Structures are given as structure tokens and as C-alpha cells.
Amino acid sequence: MCQGSRKGWCTRKPSTRDDKKIIKGWLWRIYKPSKPWHRALLNKYSYRRWFEENAQHSSIKILIRLLHDLRRRFDGLSALTPWMLDLLAHYAILNNPSRQALPLQQAYRRVFQLLSAGFFLPGSAGIADPCEGGAVRVHTSMTLERQDQVCLTAQTLLRVLSHGGYKQVLGLEGTSSEHFIIF
């Protein structure tokens, strides 16, 4: 519980997980998310807090920038939200058997391997949203067609990477979205 409060206001940062839950619950009761933008505001706050606590590794931040660039250049990846990209980058770098952060080049390829293997398809494990209660998967906000489109695009980009086309995928050579027909 928050100590040192004056007139019900907490004067220090929350330090424990329980304090954070209490403050989030307090915000929830005050704002009463009856409108969609209230819920979006609280979710944005939760996402920011999670990112500050869990994604401090520099490779994660660089991979997120690369994924945002890919999303902008390839229409098949446009269904991925920034929150999905953040979680995907964190998962690709830190969730591996050795529990050590992967180098950026391996994590970049691993993102394509995960997506092309159907990581965001119906019935897959996907990534549980750490800011939502229960077993809510982040990819369930996409339609089935968009989930399939993300998988298909990742498969094509992985093939291009495997055959030495990293310059085209990264956008260093030519306009990469015009060179490949991605359905």
C-alpha cells in the first residue's frame, strides 16, 4: 500500500507490483472507461509502463525501429500494431533456450521465422498480452485474413533473406516493396 499519502494522494512512485495494481485500479475507478478512448488511454499507460520495465535492452529498441520500417514499406505487415511489434521484438530477442539476448541479426531473422511459422495464426500460441488479464493473445485483434496476410508476407521476406536479398528487405537497395509481389 502507498505510505506517506496526504489527502488520499500518493506522494511516491509505486515500488511493488501490488502498488502498481492499486494505482492502475485507482485510475480505472476514476476514469470509468465507459468510452473506447478511456480504455485506450489506460491501455496506452499500461503499455508504456510495461515497455519501461521490460524492454530496456538496446537491441530490442533497434529491432522495433526496423520492424516499424518494415511495416511501413510492406502492406502485408500493416496489420501489426506498434504494441504487437514491441512484444514481438521483445519475444524474439529474449525468449530463447539460453535466456540470453540474441544478437540483432539473429533476432531479425527470428522475427520472420516466428511469423512465417504461423505464430500469429488462429490456434497458435502467439504472445499473451502482459497488460491484459487472462490469456488474451495480441494477434486476436486482427481479422483472419490479416493474420494470414502477415504469415504470407513473412514467408516471402524470409525466402528473400535466405537467398541473400537482405539489402532489398532492409530497403538499402531499390524500392523493396516494388520488387516483390506479395499477395
Distance CA 168, CA 32 (A): 48
Across the chain, mean pLDDT equals: 77
pLDDT of residue 25: 55
Euclidean distance between the first and the last CA atom of the chain, given in angstroms as a whole number:
53
- Residue that is written with C-alpha cell 499477395 in the block: 183
- The model carries a pTM of 0.70
pLDDT of residue 10: 46
Contact 79, 149 (CB under 8 A): yes
Residues 6+ apart with CB under 8 A from 126: 119, 120, 137, 138, 139, 140
* pLDDT tens-place string over residues 130-150: 777 667 788 888 899 999 999
Residues 6+ apart with CB under 8 A from 133: none
User: In Å, how far from its chain's centre is CA 177?
Assistant: 23
Q: Across residues 70-81, what is the average pLDDT?
A: 93
Q: Which three cell numbers stand for residue 106?
A: 539473429
Nearest one of 120, 124, 67 to 90, comparing CA atoms: 67
pLDDT of residue 183: 45
